[in-house]
A and B are shown apart, each in its own frame.
Chain A
Amino acid sequence: MSSINWLSFAVVVLFLCAVLEFARRGILEIKYTILWLITCVVMMVLSLQTTWIEWLSNITGVHYAPSLLFLVAFLFSLVLIFDLTRRISNINHKVVSLSQEHAILLEKVEKLTKEEGN
Chain B
Amino acid sequence: MYNRESKILIIVPSYNESMNIEQTLTHLSQLKTHFANLQICVINDGSHDDTSQKAKTFDVVVIDLPFNLGIGSAVQTGYKYAFKNEYDIAIQFDADGQHNVEDLIDLLTPIFEDEADMVVGSRFVEKTDYKGAITRRIGIFYFYFLLKVLTGKRFTDPTSGYRAKTKPVIKEFAENYPKDYPEPEVLVSLTNKKYRIKEIKVNMKDRQGGKSSINLVKSVYYMGKVSLSIIMQKLK
Contact = CB atoms under 8 A, between A and B. Distances in A.
B152 interface: no
Contact of B76 (A100, A102, A106): A100
Contact of B179 (A96, A102, A103, A107): A96
A99 B81 contact: no
A104 interface: yes
B71 interface: no
A15 B118 CA distance: 57
Contact of A104 (B69, B73, B81, B179): B81
Interface in B22-63: 43, 61-63
B64 interface: yes
Size category of the A interface is under 10
Interface string B66-95: 110100010011001100100000000000
Nearest to A92: B179
A107 B44 CA distance: 12
Given A96-B69, A96-B179, A99-B69, A104 B77 contact: yes
Contact of A99 (B61, B62, B67): B67
Contacts of B67: 99
Interface string A79-104: 00000000000000000100111111
Contacts, number: 34
B232 interface: no
B150 interface: no
B228 interface: no
A117 to B, nearest CB: 15
A100 B13 CA distance: 13
A25 to B, nearest CB: 27
A96 B73 contact: yes
B64 A100 contact: no
B62 A107 contact: yes
A96 B43 CA distance: 14
Interface of B: 43, 61-67, 69, 73, 76-77, 80-81, 84, 179
Interface of A: 96, 99-104, 106-107
Given A96-B73, A103-B43, A107-B64, 4 more contacts: A100-B65, A104-B77, A104-B80, A107-B62
5 contacts: A96-B179, A99-B69, A100-B73, A103-B66, A104-B63
